[in-house]
């Protein structure tokens, strides 16, 4: 396979950066001056290109639109206290991207393309990483089939791209969550462990229904009994019960979150036991009634940690005073301090651009 990090670079003539209101940056709304693009054809990757951010042209028969071979990743870059750009655990996202690609029968993206494309792109748009606390640069690598033919079969042509979006604090308010018992996010043998676009398409309607009932998100349960919890919206979920943290085990129904893994590490390092095991709604309710369900929160790149202030299962409503919590805010503070270079990165999570 011929893939090098010797990219073709075309700089934008002017920068849009001065039009950005750094005090008000909603998630995913603004994009930097440049983007990365590499195309796969005849079994190999062509030369990667960094060029001005612009629309792309696709044929109406574009395979990804019709049959869904489309995957993505979500990563963040930060500035440390010296103003240097660092990316949070990008190797993990790179590996996960290719796990998604394999399941979707898409080609593997070489490390030189994914990692170097990302680093070089960030370097060019480095000024777009906001300096304020809790701000970052969201990195969105994605790949989709571009074959111009209608027919259910794996594509022969693919486009891999990376775009960057500066972002302010996200999802910070504690959430009200509805335990989902009708719809399913992931079943054994399915694609729940991949970041393929269809998973999110399928989650829109259940989430919209939960919102119409007044909730922020759903807590997904297993496909067979709707009894064991899986994930909360597009976040992994952690329950602090008694003196233990419990989170559902990885497998084909759980997305292997990089934040989940980081949070597990930090919780263990503060001396608390972490159990990765099936967790049933009965056990959750039982712990709540005994006063042992201390904290529950979602974990993900976009928000890092989102506390849950209300959990509704059928007609049973569990409420929590998140103001009194200790672990979730402490873990969030530590994570953010590592990301912003305020404390030592003893895990080697931060990768210099």
Ligand X SMILES: *Cc1c(COP(=O)(O)O)cnc(C)c1O
Residues near ligand X (CB under 6 A): 74, 195, 231, 234-236, 255, 257-260, 299-301
> At its nearest, how many Å lie between ligand X and the CB of residue 109?
17
> At its nearest, how many Å lie between ligand X and the CB of residue 258?
4
Which residue number, 7 or 239, has a Cβ lying nearer to ligand X?
Answer: 239
Contact 154, 63 (CB under 8 A): no
Q: For the residues of 48-104, what is the DSSP string, one character each?
A: -EEEE-------TTBHHHHH--EEE--EEEEE-TTS-EEEESHHHHHHHHHHHHHHT
Q: Which residues of 175-209 are buried (b: 16+ CB within 10 A; e: fewer)?
A: bbbbbbbebbbbeeeebbbbbbbebeeebeebbee
Which residue number, 74 or 166, has a Cβ lying nearer to ligand X?
Answer: 74
Pairing of strands 217-221, 229-232: antiparallel
Tokens 């995913």 sit on residue = 28
DSSP H or E stretch at residue 200: helix 197-212
d(CA 238, CA 229): 10
Contact 246, 238 (CB under 8 A): yes
Which residue number, 146 or 301, has a Cβ lying nearer to ligand X?
Answer: 301
Contact 186, 254 (CB under 8 A): yes
Q: Which residues, 6 or more positions from 13, have their beta carbon under 8 angstroms from its beta carbon?
A: 52
> At its nearest, how many Å lie between ligand X and the CB of residue 230?
9
Which residue, among 38, 41, 37, has the nearest Cα to 52 in the 3D structure? 37
Which residue number, 263 or 287, has a Cβ lying nearer to ligand X?
Answer: 263
Which residue number, 68 or 257, has a Cβ lying nearer to ligand X?
Answer: 257
> At its nearest, how many Å lie between ligand X and the CB of residue 93?
7
CA angle 145, 151, 156 (to 5 degrees): 35
Which residue number, 62 or 255, has a Cβ lying nearer to ligand X?
Answer: 255
> At its nearest, how many Å lie between ligand X and the CB of residue 336?
14
> For 297, phi and psi rounded to 5 degrees?
-155, 155
Structure tokens belonging to residue 205 = 């309607």
Q: Which residues, 6 or more positions from 173, have their beta carbon under 8 angstroms from its beta carbon?
A: none
> At its nearest, how many Å lie between ligand X and the CB of residue 8?
30
> At its nearest, how many Å lie between ligand X and the CB of residue 339?
13
> At its nearest, how many Å lie between ligand X and the CB of residue 80?
21
Which residue number, 45 or 94, has a Cβ lying nearer to ligand X?
Answer: 94
Which residue number, 17 or 197, has a Cβ lying nearer to ligand X?
Answer: 197
Which residue number, 32 or 259, has a Cβ lying nearer to ligand X?
Answer: 259
> At its nearest, how many Å lie between ligand X and the CB of residue 265?
13
d(CA 37, CA 46): 10
Report how far Cα 271 is from the mean position of its chain's Cα atoms.
27
Which residue number, 230 or 294, has a Cβ lying nearer to ligand X?
Answer: 230
> At its nearest, how many Å lie between ligand X and the CB of residue 195?
5
């Amino acid at each position: 396979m011929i893939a090098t990090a010797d990219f073709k670079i075309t700089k934008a003539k002017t920068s849009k950066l001065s039009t950005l209101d750094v005090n008000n940056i909603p998630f995913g709304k603004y994009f930097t001056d440049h983007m990365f693009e590499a195309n796969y054809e005849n079994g190999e990757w062509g030369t990667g290109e960094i060029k001005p951010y612009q629309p792309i042209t696709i044929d109406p028969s574009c395979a990804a639109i019709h049959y869904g071979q489309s995957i993505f990743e979500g990563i963040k870059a930060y500035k440390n206290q010296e103003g240097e750009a660092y990316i949070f655990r990008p190797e993990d996202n790179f590996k996960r991207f290719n796990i998604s690609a394999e399941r979707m029968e898409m080609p593997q993206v070489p490390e030189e393309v994914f990692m170097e494309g990302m680093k070089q792109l960030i370097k060019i748009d480095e000024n777009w990483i906001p300096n304020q606390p809790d701000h970052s640069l969201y990195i969105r690598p994605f790949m989709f089939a571009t074959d111009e033919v209608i027919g259910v079969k794996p594509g022969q042509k693919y486009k891999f791209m990376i775009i960057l979006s500066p972002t302010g604090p996200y999802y910070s308010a504690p959430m009200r969550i509805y335990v989902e018992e009708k719809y399913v996010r992931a079943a054994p043998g399915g694609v729940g462990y991949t970041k393929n676009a269809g998973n999110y398409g399928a989650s829109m309607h259940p989430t919209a229904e939960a919102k119409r009932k007044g909730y922020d998100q759903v807590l997904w349960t297993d496909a067979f009994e709707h009894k064991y919890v899986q994930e909360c919206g597009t976040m992994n979920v952690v329950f602090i019960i008694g003196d233990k943290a419990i989170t559902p085990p990885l497998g084909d129904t759980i997305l292997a979150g990089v934040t989940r893994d980081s949070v597990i590490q930090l919780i263990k390092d503060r001396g608390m036991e972490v159990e990765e095991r099936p967790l049933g709604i009965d056990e959750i309710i039982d712990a709540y009634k005994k006063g042992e369900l201390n904290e529950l929160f979602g974990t993900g790149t976009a928000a890092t940690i989102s506390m849950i202030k209300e959990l509704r299962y059928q007609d049973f409503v569990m409420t929590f005073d998140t103001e009194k919590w200790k672990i979730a805010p402490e873990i969030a503070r530590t994570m953010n301090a590592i990301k912003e270079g305020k404390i030592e990165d003893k895990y080697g999570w931060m990768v210099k651009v």
